[in-house]
Amino acid sequence: MASSNPTSNDALLETLIPGYSLFARVVSVYLAVSFAFALFVVPLLVDHLQQFFLYFAASVEINYHDVLYRQLMHWVSNHRSLSKTQHSIAGTKTDYVEVWGEDEVKAEENEFENQQLDFETDEKKYWQRLSYMNKMKPIRCTPTQDTLHFFTYKGSLIAFRRSPRSSRYTLDLANAENITLYTTPWNREALRELLHDIQEVFLERECDRITIYRGVNSSDSTYWQPAASNYPRSMSTVILDENKKNALLSDIKNFLAPKTRAWYRSHCYPYRRGFLFHGPPGTGKSSMCFAIASLLRLDIYTVSFNSRLNEDGFSNLLHELPRRCLLLFEDIDTAGVQKRNFEPEEDEPLSDEEADMFHGDHPRRRQSGGISLSSLLNAIDGIGAQEGRILIMTTNCKKSLDPALLRPGRVDMEVSFGFVDQAAIQQVFLAFYVTPDEVRATKGVSTVNDSYHTCDGVSPDAKNGKNDITSLAIEFSKHVPSGKFTPADIQNYLFEHRETPETAVEGIREWVKKKQGASKSSE
């Protein structure tokens, strides 16, 4: 009975590991060692070889909050061998992996014709299929953490490791990690070349996008986190008086011109420019910010003035800004940095920034909590303030802002956004039913005066007859009173008739009566 045990054990192993018997026989004959002994020794040998490699290897580490981390993970997720490693992390598409995932917007655009056909053929089936696609998230595999993953790049052996960063204090870093790349000590230049190529691959994908970053203040660090990556917006879609629009764009372009930068340096002036956009909600302030960024290919960096953001974190964020960017403070009037009306104590000294806030016989002092006005002013134009950036602040109520915030040098140009007049109403109508030529263009820059095409790409003159769209826009504007509605109000109405401009013109009188009646009743 005992003599049959080896045979039964071999049979069991052969069942579990196909080819075991042949491999064990080869190892026993040619190496003169037991296969069981080899199974015990080989993992130890591999582990020691890895430690030996790491001891002498050249390495480079990429932190989680660095832009290069996002670029590297995008490259890894599309690498043939690294996306199919022996040990992987599998997961559906979530916020955590979205920063390097595939472009869902582009994929939806590629399926547009098929989806539209399904929608027109069987609407119920279309909604069921759409629900299934939303719930059936694509599974993505990336190399697991705390494990060395080897691959070759242009003939160089490179190791890849993800190391988690634990944080018990904030959810912002719940999935944070650092990445380390290793290579042989005589081939360290291969790492630089790899990272450079990774940047190029990523930027080819993002070259026609505007990335929006939000400031994150965690327990142990502050950094800019990508929040969105959107296609550019045409300047023609922003409704604003042409004279104001041209003056604003001319000022910004002139500031960013190389000769202007050289002039600032030669005259020892700080190279900064600040703008204030003020007006009622829905008048296009935020849209103008994004259109400017699209026109000049500037990424947007925005800060939320909440209770979690302290003054040190705010200062660190601004010091980490790139030299060429658009810094946006939205709704600065609701951020807690408002006009103050508290008198200081008699024995409390005032800083230079606070002394700058005196007007008449009633000085005002800093409020407690959050970001003080003194810190905000110092960050905007203090001695250590970042140069090269464009600052835009938006507000719904300019009167609520402290005059110190609006001083020249901090705000160099103000642009007021208001209710639409007859010319602006026509612009809204035209912008809604036609699309500018340069929308989503990957090369070149937009201009203020864009030529228009209809939403299906056909010239409006060719589709509706010469001046048909213009005639409808003029007729539409005659029935909308000037100075009563915002661009957002008009756009919301036109959205209901987005495919039939004639119907929009026919129903505008009734819509205006309802809106004016609702406004009177609310008063």
Give per-residue pLDDT as tens, 27-65.
666 665 565 666 666 667 777 777 788 888 899 999 888
Number of structural domains (the chain) is: 4
Residue 296: count of CB within 10 angstroms of its CB: 17
Tell me whether residue 374 is in a domain: yes
Is 235 in the same domain as 164? Answer: no
**Where among 416, 450, 479 does a domain terminate?**
416
- Does 65 lie in the same domain as 47? no
Shared domain check, 329 and 432: no
In a domain, 380, yes or no: yes
Domain-located, residue 318:
yes
How far, in Å, CA of 300 to CA of 390, rounded?
Answer: 10
> Are 270 and 390 found together in one domain?
yes
Question: CA-CA distance, 165 to 162, in Å (whole number)?
Answer: 10
Which amino acid type is present at position 37? F
Q: What are phi and psi of 223, to 5 degrees?
A: -160, 165
What is the rounded CA–CA span in Å between residue 39 and residue 324?
57
Where residue 441 falls among pLDDT bands split at 50, 70, 90? very low
- State which residues form the domain around 442: 422-522
Residue matched to tokens 């020794």: 41
Q: Which of 66-70, 292-296, 333-337 has the lowest mean pLDDT?
A: 333-337
Give the C-alpha distances (Å, rounded to integers) separating 353 from 153, 363, 369, 382, 393: 55, 12, 17, 9, 19
Is 276 found in the same domain as 342?
yes
Shared domain for 335 and 243, answered yes or no, is yes
Domain assignment present for 384: yes
Q: Which of 105-109, 145-149, 183-187 has the lowest mean pLDDT?
A: 105-109
Query: Do residue 200 and residue 332 come from a single domain?
Result: no
Containing H/E element for 211? strand 210-217
Asked whether residue 396 falls in the same domain as residue 256, the answer is: yes
**Domain contains 273:** yes
pLDDT in tens, 275-318: 999 999 999 999 999 999 999 999 999 988 766 778 888 888 88
The residue type found at 165 is: R
Closest CA to 377 of 350, 396, 349: 350
Q: Are 435 and 231 in contact (CB under 8 A)?
A: no
pLDDT at 148: 87
**Whole-number Å distance between alpha carbons of 79 and 74:** 9
Predicted TM-score (pTM) of the model is 0.73
Among residues 380, 396, 416, the one where a domain terminates is 416
Residue closest to 23 by CA, chosen among 7, 40, 31, 46? 31
CB 264 within 8 A of CB 270: yes
Phi, psi of 513 (to 5 degrees): -60, -45
The CATH number for 365's domain is 3.40.50.300
In this structure, the answer to whether residues 449 and 404 fall within a common structural domain is no
| Spatial distance between the Cα atoms of 115 and 109, rounded to a whole number of angstroms | 10
Residues 183-223: tens digit of each pLDDT: 988 988 999 999 999 999 888 877 788 999 998 877 667 88
Please give the Cα distance from 229 to 215 (Å, whole number): 15
Helix (H), strand (E) counts: the chain: 20, 15
End-to-end distance of the chain based on CA atoms, in angstroms?
100
Instruction: Answer with the one of 351, 386, 416 that is the final residue of a domain.
Output: 416
Answer yes or no: is 213 within a domain.
no
Same domain, 48 and 69: no
- The answer to whether residues 233 and 163 belong to one domain is no
130 within a domain of the structure (yes/no)? no
For the chain, give the mean pLDDT.
Answer: 77
Question: What is the Cα Rg of the chain in Å?
Answer: 31
Q: Do 237 and 143 reside in the same domain of the chain?
A: no
